[in-house]
Amino acid sequence: MSTERLIDIFTLMANHESEDPHGSSLCSVAKEITELSGAGISITSEDGGQEQLCASNDVAQGLLDLEMTFNEGPGHDASQNGTASEVSDLMGEGGQRWTFYSPEAVKLGARAVFGFPIHIGAVVFGALSLYRDSTGPLSEEQSSSAYLMASVIGRAVLVMQTGVPRGAIANELQGQSTFDFSVHQASGILSVQAKLSVKDALIMLRAHAFAVDISPSELAHRIIDRGTRFDFQSRVWLETDPKNREYEEYGN
């Protein structure tokens, strides 16, 4: 995972949650991070059907409604097949795969649609649906951001299922170590290495811990013990090789 991109996602989530703690920050962030026209999220229910989690705007909402009505579309395919689905021109040959969805989606203003599975490990339990009001495929960066966003959404859904309010999801995802002294100590060290404020270093630490799938506390102890450090000049994380005590790239 891209640590810098995760920082962008967490920052956007925190901003949206502070502005509207009862709103649908995940969909708004998905739209912004992929630089597309809109986003919607559907989650698989216990009976195997799809339930809407949120939509970033009216068109995205309408597209989700179409998928629920016709059982076809990019999100439906992504959740069923576990792979990304892309139609870069709904009025072209690719759009013909969805007999009912495509013409109605065009009426709503969509010209290209994309679906990415939401999963934890091998278990797929929803989809991120994205649309653009002009034709064309996703760029490599947009595709990468969409996959990353779908991963964040998967963890966010699990967090919500534990009872965490939607307005606190970003903070919960970044780590539950607010009062862990080692995390703050490591943030101070990291702020010097990365030439950031301690607050920004804390965000960076939590995002990297998320990216490499370890707890913020574990990463903090590695930083304190000099097992891991951030190299400002190369902008990469480095980890000590225990055999020769030299640093090598770590989780970038």
Each residue's pLDDT tens digit, 162-217: 555 555 555 555 554 344 557 777 887 888 899 887 778 888 888 888 888 888 88
Q: Rounded distance, CA 206 to CA 226, Å? A: 17
Alpha helices in the chain (DSSP H): 3-19, 25-34, 58-70, 74-81, 101-108, 140-161, 169-174, 181-194, 198-211, 216-224
pTM of the model as a whole: 0.69
- What's phi and psi for 121, nearest 5 deg? 65, -130
Which domains are seen in the chain, by residue range?
Answer: 3-171 (3.30.450.40), 175-249 (no CATH)
Nearest to residue 30, comparing CAs of 190, 152, 204, 136?
152
Cβ atoms of 10 and 203 closer than 8 Å: yes
Give residue-wise pLDDT tens across range 123-155: 788 999 999 999 999 999 999 999 999 988 887
| In contact, 28 and 22? CB cutoff 8 Å | no
Query: How do 228-231 and 123-132 pair as beta strands?
Result: unpaired
- Three-state DSSP class for 44? strand
